[in-house]
Amino acid sequence: MHVEQGGVLSLLQDQGRRGMHRLGLTSGGPLDPLAFHYCNRLLCNAPGASAIEMSIGGLQLRAGVDTWICLAGADMPLLIDGEEHDTWTAHPLTAGARVEVGFARDGCRAYLGVAGGFDIAPSFGSSATVVREGVGGLHGGALRAGDSLPCAARSRGRRLYLPPEQRPRYGRRATVRVVPGYQQRHFNRIEQRRFFGAPYSVSDQSDRMGYRLEGPAVDCELHGVLSEGICHGAVQIPPDGQPIVLLNDRQTIGGYPKIGAALALDTALLAQLPAGSTVHFAPVSAGTARRALQLAQRFALQKTLREH
């Protein structure tokens, strides 16, 4: 697949980089694992096969081989040789065909995969691109015009699709469940009520490293802590009191106080929100968080793909 236009931000991603925090490398990987999972599942790929994560859209490709493609995630128009095709569906593609992904009408992130996945040499055990660190992908950065993405020729396949009623719905509001952490005690009850009771809006400064939110400032009696490891979803409260939910490309250590950690299911929804969207936080116990994850995994397995 030859890149004719890279779009706003198109990155090669697999399941993410694991076990490299000791080297200062973050995990990377898809911001919306569910959409990424279905992109590969619809193509009968191995779980975690390399695909392209697009933010906002605008990607244009030219096929160099016969293959199959699928676009899953945010509502971005998919055009093959100028004709719009359904998303969440596997489509055959002939060599020479032109693929265009328009700009998002709903949601922010979508995943474009090919049959067998893109054959990208791993960097530190993964093809996941982290631009800040300059690792993964083809050259450690976003796709650009002139790049060539290796993939195998696949003329045979199944035209699977996910029924519309089972597809995720994206909007401009989300409730993010947060498991309070050990530093919660340094936020008094009034500050905790403010954080969990007030609406916040997504800042236009949000990115794959973290979602910055704007709203009532939250004060903490700690104005800095010794740097420590940071988990996915950690909710930092910097000196200005505006929460930051840390995502896949977060730094591996940090010294801002953290009121808790957001549930992974909800960080995926958060990453689909455009700037200006509304976010509420809700406290949950660790046990409730585990049950929510288990139910979501069971529900995902129960979804039935259909064939044209």
Question: In percent, how much of the chain has pLDDT > 70?
Answer: 100
Q: φ and ψ at 238, to 5 degrees?
A: -75, 180
Distance, in Å, from the CA atom of 82 to the CA atom of 67, rounded to the nearest integer, reads 18
Confidence of residue 14 (pLDDT cuts 50, 70, 90): very high
pLDDT value of residue 304: 78
Confidence of residue 226 (pLDDT cuts 50, 70, 90): confident
Q: What is the mean pLDDT of residues 250-275?
A: 95
Residues 43 and 50: beta-carbon distance below 8 Å:
no
Judged against a pLDDT cut of 90, whether residue 245 lies above it is answered with yes
pLDDT value of residue 283: 97
Question: DSSP class of residue 2?
Answer: E
Distance, in Å, from the CA atom of 179 to the CA atom of 234, rounded to the nearest integer, reads 9
Confidence of residue 231 (pLDDT cuts 50, 70, 90): very high
Neighbours of 294 (CB within 10 A): 10
pLDDT value of residue 308: 79
Q: In Å, how far are 34, 158, 297 from 54, measured between CA atoms?
A: 15, 24, 24
Judged against a pLDDT cut of 90, whether residue 261 lies above it is answered with yes
Comparison of pLDDT for 299 and 138, the residue scoring more: 138
Sign, Cα dihedral of 288, 289, 294, 297: positive
pLDDT value of residue 223: 77
Instruction: Find the Cα–Cα–Cα–Cα dihedral 181, 185, 186, 189, rounded to 10°.
Output: 110
Query: For 41-98, what is each residue's pLDDT tens digit?
Result: 999 999 999 999 999 999 999 999 999 999 999 999 999 999 999 999 999 999 999 9
Judged against a pLDDT cut of 80, whether residue 224 lies above it is answered with no
Extents of the domains making up the chain: 2-162, 173-302
Query: What tokens does 55 get?
Result: 């933010």
pLDDT value of residue 217: 97
Distance, in Å, from the CA atom of 171 to the CA atom of 175, rounded to the nearest integer, reads 11
Q: In Å, how far are 107, 297, 298 from 302, measured between CA atoms?
A: 24, 9, 6
Confidence of residue 247 (pLDDT cuts 50, 70, 90): very high
Query: For 102-155, what is each residue's pLDDT tens digit?
Result: 999 999 999 999 999 999 999 999 999 999 999 999 999 999 999 999 999 998
Report the first-to-last Cα separation within the chain, whole angstroms.
Answer: 25
Mean per-residue pLDDT over the chain, rounded: 95
Per the document, the length of the chain is 308
Instruction: Look at the block and give the residue holding tokens 């590969």.
Output: 40
pLDDT value of residue 222: 82
Scored b (16 or more CB within 10 A) or e, 261-281 reads: bbbbbbbbbbbbbbeebbbeb
Secondary structure percentages of the chain, helix, strand, coil, to 5? 20, 30, 50
Q: φ and ψ at 220, to 5 degrees?
A: -125, 140
E strand or H helix that includes residue 49 = none
> Which superfamily does 173-302 belong to?
Cyclophilin-like (2.40.100.10)
Instruction: Look at the block and give the residue holding tokens 């585990």.
Output: 290
pLDDT value of residue 155: 86
Distance, in Å, from the CA atom of 221 to the CA atom of 7, rounded to the nearest integer, reads 43
Which residues neighbour 255 within 8 Å (Cβ) at sequence distance 6 or greater? 224, 225, 226, 227, 228
> What three-state secondary structure class fits 81?
coil
Query: For 179-214, what is each residue's pLDDT tens digit?
Result: 999 999 999 999 999 999 999 999 999 999 999 999
Q: Structure pTM?
A: 0.95
**Which of 261, 195, 257 shows the shortest CA–CA distance to 234?**
261
Confidence of residue 299 (pLDDT cuts 50, 70, 90): confident
